[in-house]
Amino acid sequence: MSAPERTAGTAPRRGRPGYDKAQVLEIAVGLFIEQGYDATSVADLAARLGLTKSALYHHFDSKEQLLTLALDEALSGLEGVLDEPEARTGTAAERLGAVLRGAVRVLVDRLPYVTLLLRVRGNSDVERAALERRRAFDHRVTALVVEAQSTGVVRDDIDGPVATRLIFGMVNSIVEWYRPGGPVDRERLAHDVVAVVLDGMRTR
């Protein structure tokens, strides 16, 4: 028998899996952001979904599995940016611009997942693995900055790793104020970030 139909604004009948995996993950991420991952129990999540815990386990084995999938959603998006054609061809400055545009797009398109990633503090093996992947991404961006400096396009009086931290400090702050459907267009936002970064770092 299929899951019961739901009318708008009503919770699914308790004890029945009225959500698919993607919906459960999305709602779990929202709750992790709202309450903090460590402070959110499986019972909290089941209550938010209107399911029994056994129905929740129909979709996922554990709260940790939900966190793993959520962090992978953000990280795989960012890592994929580095493999896009625009990020692999052209000058170092052009490739850096392509990576930054791609990172902004991922942040906007996967906003809750990236927000959760940015709140990870390494309190578990899952979180530490995510932080290691994030550091690897940052190192590849730093290599682009250093390469652009070596070609004379980007100022060489700025430390490469420091520049990368400053760049992503600006990019990551977007999660605090950006609202999907608001007045700021995704592509314009990506353009503005690249303009601020590259114009500010470009040699005169």
Closest-CA residue to 22 (of 110, 81, 85): 110
> Could you confirm whether domain 21-60 is CATH 1.10.10.60?
yes
Q: Is the pLDDT of residue 7 over 60?
A: no
pLDDT tens, position by position, 25-78: 999 999 999 999 999 999 999 999 998 898 888 889 999 999 999 999 999 999
C-alpha–C-alpha distance, residues 42 and 32, integer Å: 11
Quick one: tokens of 169?
């400090």
pLDDT tens, position by position, 99-129: 999 999 999 999 999 999 999 999 999 999 9
How many Cβ atoms sit within 10 Å of the Cβ of residue 83? Answer: 9
Residues of the chain with CATH 1.10.357.10: 67-201
- Domain boundaries 67-201, CATH class: mainly alpha
Q: Which residues have a Cβ under 8 Å from the Cβ of 23 and sit 6 or more positions away?
A: none
Report yes or no: 87 and 42 within 8 Å, Cβ to Cβ. no
Report yes or no: 64 and 126 within 8 Å, Cβ to Cβ. yes
pLDDT tens, position by position, 155-185: 889 898 999 999 999 999 999 999 988 899 9
Does the CA dihedral 50-53-54-55 come out positive or negative?
positive
